[in-house]
């Protein structure tokens, strides 16, 4: 199934002001979101944030309480799942246990009432695409987890949907297989140019796969942007904390110096931060610092903010070392440093070190009047 052979073009998804309530519980709260044709968009959030409900409204298993959903030019808000040109890979794969791999993959094509020859040809193509030739006559229970995952993927893409939906499809796999499947999934999605919506609570998976990430919390989208933008410029404390790790500090603005601002943390620790424009008028802020942006050395460092600290705890993590730093002001910071032997030799629990923070690595994630 080469990209040029596709008869169906990837579609744009437009979610407009969609709300979904279950009784008095609001699962999805006025979400507006556009997914571009061919884009890989991830809905990321903790369980109960509404990401699965939003996905189920795209597949048609749930109907919005308010708002509309368009796929391509069609309003699908009230269209049942079997009338939508959308296919899903289920979290449990949901392979039909009474059918062979071939019959599973052919199911969607059969429902489209295609000719038998056409079905066999397309199934053979997609089996090659997911590297499962020779497994056609097996039953799902005779396959490994990774193979089942690929059958589920093959079954979802072979009807050439306008949109591919993925509901945590990798969560049942072990870490190594998951990484391999991530790469494979991304390659397939690129090759087929499918508009893809991916639901996960795994932030690393989201960062690896997505063109854009929508971080969801309590039924709303907290932030929407490219993986690197959302990671480097989180717009709320929730996003900073959920996507990657963050040291969150509450502080008060005590002065402005052109492009920069002086802030004092609760513990009375003064820092210089790069001041974005939206800081105008703000008095109190929450600052996020990524642990890998915290510079640690026994020598004095060049950085906007340098201060002495003591290594309260050191955890060896393989490629990196994780340090808990205790500053004189009573602030605790988590730092992740590359595990170079020289540094590892140099820094141990209880050592007195210098800690450096560049001004633009201090990101304001909340500003209050």
Partner 1 sequence: MRPTSRSFSSRRAGLRAWLLLLPMLVWLAAFVVVPMGILLVYSFCQRDDLGRVVFVFSWENYARVFDPTYLAIFGRSVAYAAVTTVICVAAGYPVGYYIARRSEKRRNQLLLLVMIPFWTSFLVRTYAWITILKNDGLLNGMLQYTKLISAPLDIMYTPAAVIIGLVYAYLPFMILPIYSSAEKLDNALVEAAYDLGAGPVRSFAEVIVPLTWPGIAAGMLLVFVPAIGMFAITDLMGGARVPMIGNVIQNQFFQARNWPFGAALGVVFTLLFAVSYALLQRRRVWEEE
Residues pairing with 195 in the sheet: 163
DSSP 60-95: TSS--SEEEEEETTEE-TT--GGGSSEEEE-TT---
Q: Which one of 111, 131, 180, 248 is in contact with partner 1 (CB under 8 A)?
A: 111
Q: Does 25 bind partner 1 (CB under 8 A)?
A: no
Residue 65's contacts (CB-CB under 8 Å, 6 or more residues apart) are: 19, 20, 21
Task: Give the count of beta carbons closer than 10 Å to the beta carbon of residue 260.
Answer: 16
Q: Smallest distance from the beta carbon of 82 to partner 1, in angstroms?
A: 5
Q: Smallest distance from the beta carbon of 4 to partner 1, in angstroms?
A: 24
Is the Cβ of residue 91 or residue 327 nearer to partner 1 in the bound state? Answer: 91
Q: Which one of 4, 5, 47, 82 is in contact with partner 1 (CB under 8 A)?
A: 82
Q: Smallest distance from the beta carbon of 127 to partner 1, in angstroms?
A: 17
Q: Does 88 bind partner 1 (CB under 8 A)?
A: yes
Rounded CA-CA distance 165/182 in Å is: 15
Is the Cβ of residue 50 or residue 60 nearer to partner 1 in the bound state? Answer: 60
Q: Smallest distance from the beta carbon of 89 to partner 1, in angstroms?
A: 10
Two tokens, residue 139: 């039953």
Element (H, E) at 126: helix 116-129
Helix (H, G, I), strand (E, B) or coil at 121: helix
User: What angle (nearest 5°) sits at the alpha carbon of residue 305, between those of residues 300 and 308?
Assistant: 50
Q: Does 146 bind partner 1 (CB under 8 A)?
A: no
Q: Does 22 bind partner 1 (CB under 8 A)?
A: no
Rounded CA-CA distance 48/76 in Å is: 24
Is the Cβ of residue 157 or residue 289 nearer to partner 1 in the bound state? Answer: 157
Q: Smallest distance from the beta carbon of 84 to partner 1, in angstroms?
A: 8
Dihedrals phi, psi of 244, to nearest 5 degrees: 80, -165
Is the Cβ of residue 80 or residue 330 nearer to partner 1 in the bound state? Answer: 80
Rounded CA-CA distance 107/24 in Å is: 38
Q: Which one of 96, 144, 187, 328 is in contact with partner 1 (CB under 8 A)?
A: 96
Q: Which one of 139, 179, 232, 310 is in contact with partner 1 (CB under 8 A)?
A: 139
Two tokens, residue 101: 């791999």
Rounded CA-CA distance 103/119 in Å is: 10
Q: Does 176 bind partner 1 (CB under 8 A)?
A: no
Between helix 101-111 and helix 116-129 the angle, nearest 10°, is: 130
User: Stretches 15-23, 133-141, 181-189, 255-263: which one binds partner 1 (CB under 8 A)?
Assistant: 133-141
Q: Does 7 bind partner 1 (CB under 8 A)?
A: no
Q: Smallest distance from the beta carbon of 110 to partner 1, in angstroms?
A: 9
Q: Does 138 bind partner 1 (CB under 8 A)?
A: no
Q: Which one of 12, 51, 102, 155 is in contact with partner 1 (CB under 8 A)?
A: 155
Q: Smallest distance from the beta carbon of 56 to partner 1, in angstroms?
A: 9
Tell me the helix, strand and coil percentages in the chain, rounded to 5: 30, 35, 35
Q: Under the rule (CB under 8 A), what is the footprint of partner 1?
A: 59-61, 80-82, 86-88, 90-92, 94-98, 107-108, 111-112, 139-141, 155-156, 159
């Amino acid at each position: 199934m080469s990209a040029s052979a596709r008869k169906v073009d990837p579609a744009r998804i437009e979610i407009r002001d969609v709300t979904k309530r279950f009784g008095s519980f609001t699962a999805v709260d006025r979400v507006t979101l556009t997914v571009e044709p061919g884009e890989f968009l991830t809905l990321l959030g903790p369980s109960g944030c509404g990401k699965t409900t939003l996905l189920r409204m795209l597949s048609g298993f749930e109907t919005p309480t308010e708002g509309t959903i368009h796929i391509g030019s069609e309003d699908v808000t009230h269209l049942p799942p079997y009338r939508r040109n959308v296919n899903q890979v289920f979290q449990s794969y949901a392979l039909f246990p009474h059918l062979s791999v071939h019959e599973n993959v052919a199911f969607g094509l059969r429902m489209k009432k295609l000719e038998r020859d056409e079905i066999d040809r397309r199934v053979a193509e997609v089996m090659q695409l997911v590297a499962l030739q020779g497994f056609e006559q097996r039953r799902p229970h005779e396959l490994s987890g990774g193979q089942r995952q690929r059958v589920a993927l093959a079954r979802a893409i072979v009807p050439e949907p306008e949109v591919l939906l993925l509901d945590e499809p990798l969560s049942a796999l072990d870490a190594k297989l998951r990484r391999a499947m991530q790469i494979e999934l991304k390659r397939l999605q690129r090759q087929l140019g499918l508009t893809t919506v991916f639901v996960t609570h795994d932030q690393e998976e989201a960062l690896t796969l997505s063109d854009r990430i929508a971080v969801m919390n309590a039924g709303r989208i907290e932030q929407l942007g490219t993986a690197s933008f959302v990671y480097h410029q989180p717009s709320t404390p929730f996003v900073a904390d959920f996507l990657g790790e963050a040291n969150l500090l509450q502080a008060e603005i005590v002065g402005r110096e052109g492009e920069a601002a002086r802030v004092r943390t609760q513990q009375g620790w003064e820092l210089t931060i790069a001041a974005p424009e939206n800081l105008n008028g703000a008095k109190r802020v929450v600052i996020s610092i990524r642990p890998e942006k915290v510079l640690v050395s026994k020598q004095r460092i060049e950085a906007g903010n340098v201060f002495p600290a003591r290594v309260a705890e050191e955890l060896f993590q393989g490629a990196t070392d994780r340090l808990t730093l205790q500053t004189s002001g009573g602030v605790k910071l988590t730092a992740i440093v590359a595990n170079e032997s020289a540094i590892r030799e140099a820094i141990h629990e209880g050592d007195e070190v210098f800690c450096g923070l560049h001004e633009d690595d201090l990101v304001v994630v909340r500003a209050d009047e």
